[in-house]
Every structure is written in C-alpha cells, then in structure tokens.
Amino acid sequence: MERVNPANFLWSQRCFFQWWALFIAGGLVVLVAILRTLWIEREVNIEAYFFPNFLWSLRVVTSFLVGYQVLATIAKRLSDLRSRADKLKWTDVEFNLLP
C-alpha cells in the first residue's frame, strides 16, 4: 500500500485555495474599478472628469488583470511541476515544498 505524504495533500489544498484567492482578488479589483468610475461619474462634471478617470480606471484594471494573469500562469506552472513530481516514486525521500 502506498504511503501518503501529508505535505502532498496540504500542497494540493493550498494550490486550490490559491487559485480561488486569485480569482476572487481579480473580481474584486474589477468591481472596485467599476464602482470608482461610477462614483466619480455621479459626483463631478462628466465632460471634464469622466473620460480621464475612466481611462485611469481602465489602465488600473488592465494592469491588475495582467498581474493576475502572470500570477495565474506561475501558479499553473508550479502546479504542473508538482503533479510531475507526484508521479515519481519516492521511497525514503521526503519531498516537501511547503515552507
């Protein structure tokens, strides 16, 4: 019977929660940028402030989405490396990537 390393289980759970945390953080950033744009629209002169503030919000959302994509790619690569490492047969070696 194969011995289960608790570090592997914790890593898989941790990776799952990291994916959801990235997804929720990206959604919150988009939501805050949209609400900020709508709040500025309501309180100030639209002709003078809406377009520059909209562009600022669009730039912020774009930069956060690019950052989110980079982090998601890194997390995916780490997950792929981990799944490849899990396929190896470890006998006496403790394989632990957790800090």
Instruction: For residue range 16-43, list pLDDT tens digits in order.
Output: 666 677 778 878 888 777 777 776 656 6
Where are the chain's structural domains?
19-86
Q: Are 75 and 19 in contact (CB under 8 A)?
A: yes
pLDDT of the residue at 73: 85
Inter-residue contact 13 to 99 (CB < 8 Å):
no
Residue 47 DSSP one-character state: I
Predicted TM-score (pTM) of the model is 0.37
Sign (positive/negative) of CA torsion 28, 33, 36, 41?
A: negative
The pLDDT tens digits for 55-83 are 777 777 788 888 888 888 888 888 887 77
Q: What is the pLDDT of residue 1?
A: 47
